[in-house]
Amino acid sequence: LVVRSKELNLKDYSVCFGNAKTLLSKFLSDTKYSMFFVLVDENTKTHCLPLISEAVSGFEVIEITSGEVNKNLETCNLIWNKLIEKNAGRNTLLINLGGGVIGDMGGFCAAVYKRGIDFLQIPTTLLSQVDASVGGKLGIDFNLIKNCIGVFRNPLQVIIDSDFLSTLPKREFLSGYAEIYKHALIFDDEYWKLLQKYPPLNNINTKELNEIIYSSVEIKKKVVEQDPFEKNIRKILNFGHTIGHAVETYFLERDEKPLLHGEAIIVGMICESYLSSKFNGLSEESLKDIISTFGYSYQYRLIPKSAHLKILSFIKNDKKNIAKENNFTFLNKIGDSKINCTANKEEIIDALNFYNKTVI
């Protein structure tokens, strides 16, 4: 592992790695905002806000209730109402302090409030640090369709501090690690081999964790820079997500112990690796490697047969699907992937059955 620079520069913003309070103070020192708002949920208010509050003098806190179920228009209303109540003008900065829910929804609220106010992303979960923090996708769920309403817009800066992760529940940490595995599988086989040395359940030390977070953000940056609006190559990031999103929505709708995003993506990656092995030349050996690597850390949930039709209908509604065709990213091999692949209904059900067999 090599020590690398603490900043990644994208076209119109940068991702800074290090102590959040220091980085935020530095950012604010040469800006002139008339008002500051910090968006938090009950968890980031307790665990994360104290770590940065000294960096901002005089800010309003907007607190929302945590959870994907609240990533919706009602919560946006609450945020906009609070901004209006405090007479927030265009010269306002919104600091989104939290996981992907806060980042996506806070960013969206900022992007459309008075046609757009500035915002900063300070992601505090592993998932939001390695994935949601880069790429400009903002939005909310609508009619139970994930990320159905949203926009592309970049923050002024992203601040990534792995110290926040010390209070993150283990399950959330694992959920974020799923996206890290995804980055390796679609893009970098050496990185995959390295990750196999650092299973997320073995305590990874700070230095290694910082390197892993940096490498993942770097991969995401390389991909989104080539294709900011997801017309082609960026779709490789959807590996595991066509089926994964549908599985996530299925459990969210049933509202009985929903799966975390990354947990659903693990299910999706197993199914889509299976489809890759059937239709895209991924070797049997690689498929086994993927399943055993995941199996070391993740607990699987059975997908009941009665869920198949629902899951298929969610895949049809997924915004990633062009017209009638299901749109998949398949692996060619570990570290290399191909966009615009298809699988039909029967093949998807076959993949879900394969997953269940692997899990039992």
Q: Which residues bind ligand NAD (CB under 6 A)?
A: 41, 43-44, 47-48, 66-68, 71, 98-102, 104, 124-125, 127-128, 131-132, 135, 137, 147, 164, 167-168, 172, 175, 261
Give residue 2's Cα distance to chain centre: 25
Q: Which is nearer to ligand NAD, 135 or 200 (CB)?
A: 135
Pick from 246, 240, 248: nearest CA to 179? 240
Report whether 104 contacts 132 (CB < 8 A).
yes
The secondary element (H helix, E strand) that includes residue 141 is strand 137-142
Q: Nearest distance from residue 132's CB to ligand NAD, in Å?
A: 3
Least CB distance from residue 255 to ligand NAD, whole Å? 15
Adjacent-strand bridge partners of 64: 41
Residue 124: CB minimum distance to ligand NAD, A: 4
Q: How far is the CB of 329 from ligand NAD (least distance, A)?
A: 15
User: Which of residues 176 and 291 has its CB atom nearest to ligand NAD in the complex?
Assistant: 176
Diameter of the chain measured on Cα atoms: 60
Q: Name the residue nearer to ligand NAD (CB basis): 75 or 286.
A: 75
Name which of 137 and 183 has its Cβ closer to ligand NAD.
137
Question: In the bound complex, which residue of the shown chain has the CB atom lying closest to ligand NAD?
Answer: 100
Q: Which C-beta is closer to ligand NAD: that of 218 or that of 354?
A: 218
Write down the least CB distance from residue 141 to ligand NAD, Å. 7
Q: How far apart are CA 22 and CA 28, in angstroms?
A: 10
Give the nearer residue to ligand NAD in terms of CB position, either 67 or 228: 67
Identify which of residues 147 and 276 has a Cβ nearer to ligand NAD in the complex: 147
Smallest gap, in angstroms, from Cβ of residue 281 to ligand NAD? 28
In sign, the C-alpha dihedral spanning 171, 175, 178, 179 is: negative
Cβ nearer to ligand NAD, comparing 71 with 82: 71
The Cα–Cα gap between 113 and 170 comes to 35
Spell out the long-range contacts of 221-230 with Cβ–Cβ below 8 A and sequence spacing 24 or more.
221/8, 221/10, 221/15, 221/134, 222/187, 223/187, 224/10, 224/134, 224/135, 224/136, 225/10, 225/11, 228/135, 228/136, 228/152, 229/152
- Provide the minimum distance between the beta carbon of 22 and ligand NAD in the complex, in angstroms, as a whole number: 18
Which of 285, 289, 303 minimizes the C-alpha distance to 351?
A: 303
Smallest separation, CB 315 to ligand NAD (Å):
16
**What angle (nearest 5°) sits at the alpha carbon of residue 238, between those of residues 176 and 259?**
45
